[in-house]
Structure 1
């Protein structure tokens, strides 16, 4: 054996992740990088203990790229489902203005067409919670892709299907599109629960967080594809482009990618689990990992999972739900999903020199780049401080945008300030990404103990999508009747209230272990 190699490994240890061999039944895959519902994740090794002697914001990981080639390939392919979810979520931004310009839909129908995805997505987490253990991660993702492809077929063919329905059928093209968006929402809700779970379970401990962070990047890249194609091509072309991600994911899952080894071991299929791990690790001897999985499964069977009635009646559990769901509510009341869903119509209202199509592309690029900063900043400053900074920044720039809309409404000459709306949106997303986008999901991973994590995570994700539905449904009629200035002023005010809530009521868990956090929440003691 090469002694120099051993020496180098010893030198790297202070900077490597120290993985404790204990089991948490459900944890977040990558809670610090996602602005949308992130699922409960089964994994057999948490990354709680990180050596802080490493340079600030840097965690050195010993990655043998050639040995992990199959793992990286599997992660990227699985994240095509995430990109497909981003396509579905962002479809409304370029499509709704085109359909309204052609007189195909009115404001009322536009609101329903946008918000129906959120209705389906609020159901998706509970379906995933019920089906993921019986179907498995791989099969459930395959079913999700089939459902998503079917929804795109319905959406693309809706105008052609309606005329061929029986005369006495009170169904038209727009109602078929509602159904399509509902189905796509169910698929999106399941994807947000299952894809990070699958990635966390196939990844080894040293690269799990790094691979989990790809979820956000693929999601925003899905937005970017829709924003880039939609304004310049027909709706048919946009639908065809949106087929690429789910079809790619479906094909590779059906032909190449293995099932989660953890799921296979849980079903007693030791030989299949060993074979899957051997392919993922590209080595024959995976006995140590198989033993770790066995230990984790045995420990998980001794974990007393609470019932729904216990979750909703026990004071400590309700306290955890209160903190996280309240923060999720403020996250959505900051207007992030509304702006993502209606970014092109919003920019069109501003009469900016920059075209709405280019503006939405710029916002997606900024959002993607800003997401790179979140993990390092969170590690350095803590979640609570970043939440305060994020909410203050969002409050200021939403207020500035509201003031611009007000001046425009009262006919003040703004020719010299047409750059302001785009700048405000760019800075808003920059501040949102470092705290309000990621913070609530990071706290969900800390506040929810293993005994409640499965049910609480599904409930939280469902609540989040319900908030998305309400806001995306109400925004168009309110912005038309009261003006966009009122809408953005309200969003700004909620960001201010959110700041007060975080400063006064939200516990600061920086530097605390998971045990200390649970003791603080349930007993009120550090």
Structure 2
């Protein structure tokens, strides 16, 4: 039996996810910053000569997701050649440069370029960090180590929501540089490459050194033997390739499950809510200030993620994902109904608090299940030799849907009313519940070898 992982395993995951913290700040940036760029808030501090339009705002918000779609395939190619660690370090630099651009931005195109570059780094983080954390963890804590991504993502989002309304866009960019620099310093100097990567490239001695550093123990022979056995039993002494995902039935099944989870994760409407939280509250005519309501929602988001750490390795993955989708379905439906009634002249002042409560439930639902487990599931369902390719395709699906919803749903709300996007998301969320219940296999508490044997044996 493997010994319990020492604190350093979690330190390694935390260090890797400092860049995820930066990604979270990037996603949270839109809510406090777009009202400043379009002149609705603090018009005297606009760094541009003229305020932005609705279309320009939607592109600034969504270009992060578009940039993120461009990097995963380059990420997987590099990670199979130079390793997970060096690839993550290489992709931290576009985000650093992007914040420097926004510090000195004076034109809309500057923000387009910067947001696209943040997306390039984000695509790498979303596709590779689940692989990295899965490969440094053990079966009893793989979910907890993997959820570090969501913890840091939500903390970054909260930081932007709390700091953003009270500082200039330039200062918010300065603050956003901090986790990026900390990542480069800590990850480059303290954190090892994954033992799985070393075994995959035939460097068993380096794998042993990596394990000893991660576990802070010299007694790693049993765990190393299990990793080697996993690679050999799955016939992965030769490197996997992209084509194998589509030529072997068990790889196709894993891809179908992972892509499906990522598709429905984003079609809950999470990116729309995150990017336009302040705009949604302004349109809902709620009783509190939009800035305060955004802070409440993002704070609850962090609390929900922290609470999910108590359940993620104790409750079945399917149960958590299905329950979280149900918790998101109801707010989507009732937010749509609220805006429908508001648009047709009903007096909703007595329940003006309802949108805040509904989005709190929505955000909580996302972060206790489908949010963190989407990436955890993708990181554990594929065989090591095709893991990077499979996670990359699943991540690209996630990012493509995020880009589409962030770009086009604001226009849908302008044309059809604020209720339309929420009812569209409710429909997709309902289908997602059925997908999880019918198709998704259980992986909790299983080693990688046990998961892959189960995938191969399923009909």
The TM-score with structure 2 as length reference comes to: 0.85
Corresponding residue to 1:497 among 419, 424, 431? 431
Q: Does 1:138 align with 2:85?
A: yes
What is the aligned partner in structure 2 of residue 457 from structure 1? 391
Aligned runs of 1:165-180 on 2, under 5 Å?
173-180=107-114
Alignment partners' CA distance in 2, 1:337 and 1:515: 32
Q: CA deviation at 1:93?
A: 1.7
Structure 1 pair 186–403 and aligned structure 2 pair: CA distance change class (3 A): same
Structure 1 Cα separation of the partners of residues 87 and 430 of structure 2 = 41
Matches within 5 A, 1:390-409: 390-409=324-343
Match of 1:437? 371
From 90, 100, 109, give the equivalent of 1:153. Answer: 100
Match of 1:518 among 444, 455, 458: 455
**Distance apart, 1:99 and its partner CA:** 0.8
- Contact 1:324/1:440 (CA < 8 Å) preserved in 2? yes
Q: How far off is 1:311 after superposition?
A: 2.8
Distance verdict in 2 for CA 1:141–1:410, change over 3 Å: same
Residue 340 of structure 1 corresponds to 274
Deviation at 1:83, TM superposition (A): 0.8
Give 3-state SS (helix, strand or coil) of 1:308's partner: coil
Higher Rg of the two aligned structures: 1
Do the aligned residues in 2 keep the contact of 1:509 with 1:517 (CA within 8 Å)? no
Residue 185 of structure 1: how far off its partner (Å)? 0.8
Secondary structure, counterpart of 1:158 in structure 2: coil
Query: 1:77 aligned to 10, 15, 23, which one?
Result: 15
Contact (CA 8 Å) 2:250, 2:456: kept in 1 or not? no
CA distance in 2, matches of 1:519, 1:264: 25
- Please state how far the C-alpha of 1:497 moved relative to its aligned partner: 3.1
Cα shift readout 1:418-472 (whole Å, capped 9, x = no counterpart): 1000001011222233343245445545654455433222111111101111111
Q: 1:290 to 1:120 in 2, by over 3 A?
A: same
Aligned counterparts of 1:203 and 1:435: Cα–Cα separation in 2: 20
Distance 1:496 1:266, change over 3 A: closer
> Equivalences for 1:194-209 in 2 at 5 Å?
194-203=128-137, 208-209=142-143
| 1:359-398 correspondence to structure 2 within 5 Å | 359-374=293-308, 377=311, 382-398=316-332
Please tell me whether residue 311 in structure 1 is matched to residue 245 in structure 2.
yes
Inter-partner Cα distance in structure 2 for 1:386 and 1:262: 28
* Partner in structure 1 of residue 57 of structure 2: 110
Deviates more, 1:332-341 or 1:136-145: 136-145
Question: In the TM superposition, what is the alpha-carbon distance from 1:476 to its structure 2 partner?
Answer: 1.6
Larger relative helix fraction: 2
Spell out, residue by residue over 1:126-171, the C-alpha distance to the aligned partner (whole angstroms, 9 max, x if none).
1211011333333222222222100111122221xxxxxxxxxxxx
Q: CA contact under 8 A between 2:242 and 2:386: conserved in structure 1?
A: no
Q: Deviations over 1:356-387 (max 9, x none)?
A: 22212221222222224446556665343444
Change (3 A) 1:245 1:476: same
Supply the distance in 2 between the matched residues of 1:319 and 1:297 (Cα, whole angstroms).
20
Q: Which runs of 5+ in 2 are unaligned?
A: 44-49
Partner residue in 2 for 1:242 = 176
Matched, 1:324 2:324: no
Matching of residue 127 in structure 1 with residue 127 in structure 2: no
CA distance in 1, matches of 2:223, 2:436: 41
Shift of 1:519: 4.6
Indicate conservation of the 8 Å contact 2:231/2:237, yes or no: no
Pick the aligned partner of 2:355 from 409, 413, 421.
421
Gaps (5+ residues) in structure 1?
1-17, 20-60, 160-172
CA distance in 1, matches of 2:84, 2:451: 27
Cα RMSD after superposing both structures = 3.3
Residue 180 and residue 421 in structure 1: after superposition, are their counterparts in 2 closer, same or farther (change >3 A)? same
Task: Map Cα deviations across residues 289-313 of structure 1 (whole Å, 9 max, x no partner).
Answer: 6666666666676456664344335
Offset, 1:320: 3.9
Q: Deviation of residue 115 (structure 1)? A: 1.0
What does residue 38 of structure 1 align with? none
Q: Give the aligned length.
A: 446
Asked if the contact 2:234/2:383 (under 8 Å) is kept, the reply is: no
Distance 2:209 2:454 in 1: 39
2:439 corresponds in structure 1 to: 506
Partner residue in 2 for 1:98? 36
2:285 matched residue in structure 1: 351
Is the contact between residue 447 and residue 517 of structure 1 (CA under 8 Å) also seen in structure 2?
no
Counterpart CA distance in 2 for 1:447 and 1:268 is 23
Q: Does 1:477 align with 2:415?
A: no
Please state if 1:229 is matched with 2:229: no
Contact 1:449 1:518 in 2 (8 A): no
3-state DSSP of counterpart to 1:411? coil
Alpha carbons 2:72, 2:392 under 8 Å: kept: yes
The partner residue of 1:86 within 24, 44, 52 is 24
